[in-house]
Structure 1
Amino acid sequence: MSNTRAEAAYLRSLAAFRTPTLDLLHGRYAPFVVAVLSIVFTVDRPTVAVSDAHAEIAEIIDELRAAGYDEDDRSLPSGSAREICRYWVRVGWLVPQIDGDVEVYRLTAHAVGALEITGRTGGGRTRVSNSRVRTLLEAVERLAADAETDPELRLQRLVEERAALDREIARLSTSGESAPVDDEVLLEEAENILHLARELPADFARVAESIKAMQRDVVADLRRDVRPTGEVLREYLERGQHVMQATAEGRAFAGALRLIGDPERIDDLTDQLHTVLAQPFARLMDAQQRGELDAIGRRVELGVQEVLTAQRRASHVITGQVRTHDPVRDRQVDELLRDVMAGLQSWTQSSSPDAPVDPVRSLPAATVGHLRQSVSDIRPPGAPAPLTVPDADAELLDADTRAWGGPRYAELEAYVSQLGDEFDLATAFEGADDDTRRPVDLLGLLEIAHRNGMSESDTVSTVETLRPDGTTRRFAFGAVTVRGTKENDDD
């Protein structure tokens, strides 16, 4: 049984040392890698343009070689800065990505974790302090309280907390002074905060990389999916919308985001850190510790931004892949790529490294029987047929159409000119001929009245209109008095 337990422990340790994090720290050039990555990538510079990174790393190598750290004692790797960065990408310490129109490098979670370990190990003492133990005890107490389901016990705990707060309020109200805290204790608490903050960048990077890995898995599964398109769309679009809930790291980050996602909370954190650095005990910390403490707010903000950017990019990629999903086409492309790789592999096995390669100078032409050489004439085949002379039925139809048309302005103008200097519009409409008492003629009469000059009163007039089919309809409107025009009026 002991052999099995020892073997299991050995396998766990072996798997841990195979991770890029411990591989970086255990490598021959580990001091060089850690030094370069810590110089090039900082809290305020999480991404670096590829060209800038190559130039800076080349300058660092030249400075170290000029200082005596040359290749003889195997302290520095051989090759150019470009080759070194490509190797770091291959082993999982750097990840290239496109930021706008520029290709940049970003540290992977493994590299961030390695820098965290070296920074914690070489960044000063790590001691069992009152602050660290209190943090542990408070975390355990909070876990036990959250896991408690008995309402009476939870109520008892809340009453005790309130009583302790009331005693502290009463003491401060009575004395008016708060007991000063020793500078050594404050320094311990600051070191504990730095210890906790150093783990944040690696945690954020792990969340972002878990989302990217999930994105790659979804796209790979989608390319292999042969189900109906509608079913595929529903499932994968939902996964794209809820990408943050697809991994354990993402779900944990979503819970933490409720605490740190508010910009006001980040601003409050920055203000509190500035207040702490202004206290006298801050002089006991070295410059590096003060810089790390001041950068905590920025670290949190950049970490949240990194994860949310990875989330948006994953949702965009998954949605785009789903919208263009074509199982038949994807399968054809995969088969074509496999054929190309198989042909390339067989060719490299049977040819020498300096064997010439005949380029493809032209693509094969499509086999087409016949192409159209002209288009049809866009002009019409002939002029339209001439209009015919209307017959008697057409004249009847025209008369019926006119009966249902707009107001008869000519008849109405002639009628109004016979009504004298002033008349009531409702009375005048009731006295008109039947063919000019349609609803539209009432509107025409109102238009003529407005043009000639009219006045309205608070009383209501009602008229009955007559439609061409013999039906009637009543209308009500404010009483209108019109100034008429006589036929014998001088211009």
Structure 2
Amino acid sequence: MDYDEVAALRRHSPAWRLLRADHAPLVVSFLGRVFVDDNVRSLPLARLSDLLDDTLHVLNDRLGAGTFPRPAKSYLDDWAGPEAGWLRTYYPPGSDEAHVDATPALEKAVAWVRSLPQRSFIGTESRLNTAVELLRQIVVGSQADPQLRLNELLQRRAALDEEIERLRRGEVVVMEPAAVRDRYQQFAGTALGLLSDLREVEDNFRFLDRTLRERIATFDGSKGELLEEVLADRRAIAESDQGRTFRAFYDFLLSARRQEEFQQLLAQVQHLDVVAGAAEGAALDPRLRRIHHAWLEAGERTQMTVRVLSEQLRRFLDERAWLENRRVLDVLRSIESSALAVREHAAGAPGTEVDAGAPAVVLPMERPLFTPRPPLALDSTLTVRGEGGEAEDVDVAALFAQSSVDTTRLAVAVRRALQQRGQVALADVVAVAPLRQGLAEVLAYFALDDAGFERVFDPRVREQVHWDGSDGQRRRADLPRLVFVRRGAPAGAGRGGAGVGGAAAGAAAQEEGRG
């Protein structure tokens, strides 16, 4: 970096302004604890003001009454102002209460301050192995020659066969405690760094959303030109390197199998004595116990920002269509006014009076004669007379032979399945609690609304649900994937159908016989 670049960062970077601020220790410690340590992505402004007021009261008692003389709300307004840029104030959809979120600049400043203290243990071996493995993946993955890739796989298989033979001979090489701490330290840094990266990715998408809104508000061309430009930008976002890597990362979060594997590996590692008893702060960080849930929540907020782009585009289309319809009506009214003005011209004025656009021909015999209606006798009794004249009872059982799906029973089945794990797919629920009422019960699962869990849809993944029909035939429904997530664990794609179009899930189901 040259001098001018560093000088520009010193003048314009919010993170640099935070480190030079008079109350930098208060900002870093308080906001870092609330938003970074607790992984809070959104907090009501009133709640944050109460927390800061308690903190200021404790600091004034310990450091002196005049250390922080201003009220908490005044400090928060300064930190969220354009001169600082450490907090973002906004109104969530459907809410009139202001909420606050941290900016990527705050995350960067907190991470830099935390890197200043001297560490008692610094691992280097795992990072070197990671660097070499990444280079190997790049070289092998970029090879188009199948023989070269086959040779690489054969070498890896030979190494695995050699290791298997050593284990069969009883030669077990256990990783040293220092190597375990080294790798766990790298895992902790990477896992926590992902949360900061996701906040920055969300901020980048929000910047694109703001740019799109400004372009729509100031665009003077035709609707077709703007649509072409907006859709090109939308495709560029999805097909960019950042968009592709985020989509692969989010697909991993939505995979129940890979999440279960990650949870098992994390639990086994954290129960190791060398990790549980480590003195390094990162090894004891409680956020790592539920880091995958924090990833899921951060990814969902990023997905919500992307959905705002689509909603803004739809709103633009609706507004433009309404404006064009209104313009058509104005043109029609102008034509009507001109026609009335021509009709009221004097007789000597130029023009021709036309009685009708075409002659009306009506033949006398085309008109039908009057036909009186016969009287109609109505009998509202339910008694039916038999052949012998005796009264017979009417079978009204068909009026009550209506079926309804018990959603309470379905919710109980979902909650029972969520007792063992944080999320479960619809196919797993049906495997434990078979369907009794066929496709109607499948559709009821898509409309469940329960306080104990949430629904997450992924239209890009298909799954099949089977049941036995009333005729003994085996039925199958092919539909988008539905995952139930226990309350307390962040939901996936679009809560309550947010992000992935829950309304289309039922329409995509197809029922077919076994044959």
Q: Which residue of 1 aligns with 2:270?
A: 277
Distance 1:134 1:392, change over 3 A: closer
Q: Which residue of 1 aligns with 2:508?
A: none
1:374 corresponding residue in structure 2: none
Distance in structure 2 (CA, Å) of the matches to 1:188 and 1:50:
40
CA distance in 1, matches of 2:163, 2:320: 65
User: 1:249 — aligned with what?
Assistant: 242
Structure-to-structure mapping, 1:413-424, within 5 angstroms: none
User: Against the structure 1 CA distance between its residues 393 and 109, is the aligned structure 2 distance closer, same or farther, given a 3 Å change threshold?
Assistant: closer
More helix by share: 1
Q: Distance in 2 between matches of 1:82 and 1:51?
A: 9
What is the DSSP-based 3-state SS (H/G/I as helix, E as strand, rest coil) of the residue aligned with 1:96?
Answer: strand
- Corresponding residue for 2:200? 206
Do structure 1's residue 12 and structure 2's residue 5 form an aligned pair?
A: yes
Q: In 2, Cα distance between the equivalents of 1:172 and 1:219?
A: 62
The separation in 2 between residues aligned to 1:21 and 1:47, in whole angstroms, is 20
**Rounded Cα–Cα distance in structure 2 between residues aligned with 1:84 and 1:237:** 41
**Counterpart in the other structure of 2:261:** 268
Residues 408-487 of structure 1 aligned to structure 2 (within 5 Å): none
Match in the other structure for 1:81: 72
Aligned to 1:197: 191
Alignment of 1:61-460 (within 5 A): 61-68=56-63, 71=66, 76=68, 78-90=69-81, 91-99=84-92, 100-101=94-95, 102-122=97-117, 124-125=119-120, 127-175=122-170, 178-236=172-230, 239=233, 242=235, 244-245=237-238, 249-286=242-279, 289-290=283-284, 291-325=286-320
Q: Work out which of the two has the higher radius of gyration on C-alpha atoms and give 1 or 2.
A: 1
Q: 1:154 to 1:66 in 2, by over 3 A?
A: same
Q: Name the SS for the 1:121 alignment partner.
A: coil
Query: How far apart are residue 203 of structure 1 and its match?
Result: 0.8
Partner Cα distance (1:328, 1:104) in 2: 34
Aligned residue for 2:358?
A: none
| Partners of 1:247 and 1:209 in 2: CA distance | 16
- The code of the aligned residue for 1:185 comes to A
User: 2:44·2:99 contact (CA, 8 Å) conserved in 1?
Assistant: yes
Q: CA 1:394–1:318 in structure 2 vs 1: closer, same or farther (change >3 Å)?
A: closer
AA in 2 matched with 1:269: F
CA deviations on 1:430-489 (whole Å, 9 max, x unpaired) are: xxxxxxxxxxxxxxxxxxxxxxxxxxxxxxxxxxxxxxxxxxxxxxxxxxxxxxxxxxxx
Q: 1:193 and 1:59, CA in 2 relative to 1: closer, same or farther beyond 3 A? A: same
- Cα displacement (A) at 1:248: 5.2
Residue 45 of structure 1 pairs with residue 40 of structure 2: yes
Aligned length in residues: 324
Q: CA deviation at 1:214?
A: 0.6
The Cα of 1:39 is off from its aligned counterpart by: 2.3
CA distances 1:376-412 after superposition (whole Å, capped 9, x unpaired): xxxxxxxxxxxxxx999979x99xxxxxxxxxxxxxx
Would the alpha carbon gap of residues 391 and 273 (structure 1) be closer, same or farther in structure 2, given more than 3 Å must change? closer
TM-score (norm 2): 0.56
AA aligned opposite 2:266? L
Instruction: Sort the Cα spacing of 1:278 and 1:203 in 2 relative to 1 into closer, same or farther, 3 A.
Output: same
What TM-score, normalized to structure 1?
Answer: 0.59
Secondary structure, in 3 states, of the residue corresponding to 2:22? coil
Q: Determine if contact 1:237/1:322 at 8 Å carries over to the other structure.
A: no
Q: Give how far 1:53 is off.
A: 0.0
RMSD between superposed Cα atoms in Å: 3.2
Q: Give distance in 2, aligned partners of 1:264 and 1:115.
A: 34
Change (3 A) 1:318 1:89: farther
State the distance in 2 between where 1:304 and 1:220 align.
Answer: 25
> Counterpart of 1:26 in structure 2: which amino acid?
R
Gap runs ≥5 in structure 2: 325-363, 372-515
Listed one character per residue, the Cα deviations across residues 161-197 of structure 1 (whole Å, up to 9, x for unaligned) are: 111112122222332x632222222111111111212
CA distance in 2, matches of 1:246, 1:81: 44
Q: SS at 2:88's partner residue?
A: strand
1:87–1:169 distance in 2 versus 1, CA, 3 Å: same
Q: 1:37 to 1:274 in 2, by over 3 A?
A: same
Distance 2:231 2:314 in 1: 6
1:212 Cα deviation after fit: 0.9
Q: Output the amino acid matched with 1:40.
A: V
Question: How far, CA to CA, are the matches of 1:50 and 1:112 in structure 2?
Answer: 19
Give, as a single letter, the amino acid of the residue that structure 1 aligns with 2:79.
W
Match of 1:402 in 2: none
- The 3 A distance-change label for structure 1 pair 208 and 104 is same
Question: Structure 1 residues 163 and 246, CA, compared in 2 at 3 Å: closer, same or farther?
Answer: closer
Q: In structure 2, how many angstroms separate the alpha carbons of the residues matched to 1:111 and 1:247?
A: 26
Secondary structure of the residue that 1:186 maps to in structure 2?
helix
The aligned amino acid for 1:279 is: L
Mapped partners of 2:272, 2:219: distance in 1 = 61
Shift of 1:216: 1.1
Output one character per residue of 1:402-432: Cα deviation in whole Å (capped at 9) or x when no partner: xxxxxxxxxxxxxxxxxxxxxxxxxxxxxxx
Structure 1 residues 261 and 69, CA gap change in structure 2 (3 angstroms):
farther
Structure 1 residue 202: Cα displacement = 1.8
- 1:23-42 matches, within 5 Å, as 23-41=17-35, 42=37
Q: CA deviation at 1:151?
A: 3.6
Judged with a 3 Å threshold, the aligned counterparts in structure 2 of structure 1 residues 251 and 85 are, in CA distance, closer, same or farther, namely farther
Asked whether the equivalents of residues 57 and 81 of structure 1 are also in contact (C-alpha less than 8 Å), the reply is yes
Q: What percentage of residue pairs aligned between the two structures are identical?
A: 19
Counterpart position of 1:341:
none
